[in-house]
Amino acid sequence: MNNEKNLFSIGEIAKTIGITRRIVLNYEEKGLITYDVKNGENGNRYYTMDTFAKIHTVRNLQKLGLSLDEIHGYLDGTADLMMMIHRLEAIRDTLNLNIEKLYERAGGPTDDVKKVSIYKQKVYCRTYTAETVAEKTDLLRKTALEATRIYGADTTRRMYFIEHTFSQSGTLAFCASVPYRSEGENIVEIPTFSAICMYHHGAYEKLPEAVEKLVKYAEKNRIQILDKCRFAFLEGPPQHRKKDKFITQVIIPIKEI
């Protein structure tokens, strides 16, 4: 800090916040901040503590995924704050899903059963009859491609999953999560529901064993399950070649008492 004038130089600002001088100057060019003092032959810039705090705020909001234009609106009071909140909530939900997935990878395979809430979402859904893992994999890829091309994708929810009823296990619903505003053909809104679940580490051919474990758990604990089962794919062929690295969340809806 400049002791005589109680100001920060641009170099001190950059070093303390962990950014470059170019970023500070870019904030000036965008109208997000202004220097407080400019002197010397080279036009050295100096900033007060208030401006330092403002730069810190801008940087934090930028790290959260907001654009500089959005941050400008936030600072001058013209931003739609509810829209900004929804943006940040979406980022939070995406982070939470990825953190959950990383914890599952770090912890390794377990037989732990959890009671969870599966939150509402909209999906692009196609129903097909399929028996083999190869058929199911190809149909899910096809569904995901169609959904993304037509509606886009919602990364704040489990993006791809397959559902079937216990009474008709050969007929499956292939689903891809789409933005909540989506409307049109094959769009289905799934409400929030309670469920029991476990994470299956390994080949898809072994998924029926995970379902059986959940059913036995429900019977032992007198939990009434509904006539549906969901396989939500966290990590699979796009991420790993070895099947033992696949992670699938196996979900069975339950009746709330």
For residue 41, pLDDT over 70 is answered with no
Q: How far apart are CA 158 and CA 51, in angstroms?
A: 41
What local confidence, expressed as pLDDT, does residue 126 receive? Answer: 97
Banded model confidence at residue 210, pLDDT cuts 50, 70, 90: very high
Amino acid identity at 182: S
What local confidence, expressed as pLDDT, does residue 40 receive? Answer: 67
**What mean pLDDT do residues 148-157 have?**
91
**What mean pLDDT do residues 177-182 have?**
93
Neighbours of 65 (CB within 10 A): 13
Q: What is the pLDDT of residues 117-143, one digit of tens each?
A: 999 999 999 999 998 999 999 999 999
What local confidence, expressed as pLDDT, does residue 50 receive? Answer: 92
What local confidence, expressed as pLDDT, does residue 98 receive? Answer: 84
Q: If we measure between CA atoms, which residue out of 9, 83, 13 comes closest to residue 46?
A: 9
Q: If we measure between CA atoms, which residue out of 56, 75, 71 comes closest to residue 13?
A: 56
User: Any residues with CB less than 8 A from the CB of 139 and at least 6 apart, and which?
Assistant: 126, 128, 130, 172, 174
Domains of the chain in sequence order: 8-76 (1.10.1660.10), 107-253 (3.20.80.10)
Banded model confidence at residue 241, pLDDT cuts 50, 70, 90: confident
> Edge-to-edge, what's the strand order for the sheet holding 193-201?
114-118, 193-201, 247-253, 229-235, 160-164, 171-178, 121-129, 187-190
The residues with which 117 forms a beta bridge, in sequence order, are 194
For residue 235, pLDDT over 60 is answered with yes
Q: What is the pLDDT of residues 59-83, one digit of tens each?
A: 999 988 889 999 999 999 898 889 8
Question: Comparing 17-26, 50-59, 88-97, 179-188, which segment has the lowest mean pLDDT?
Answer: 88-97
**What mean pLDDT do residues 14-39 have?**
93
* pTM as predicted: 0.75
Mean pLDDT, the chain, whole residue set: 91
What local confidence, expressed as pLDDT, does residue 257 receive? Answer: 63
**What mean pLDDT do residues 166-187 have?**
92
For residue 3, pLDDT over 70 is answered with no
Scanning the structure block, which residue is given the tokens 């950059």? 14
Q: How far apart are CA 182 and CA 184, in angstroms?
A: 7
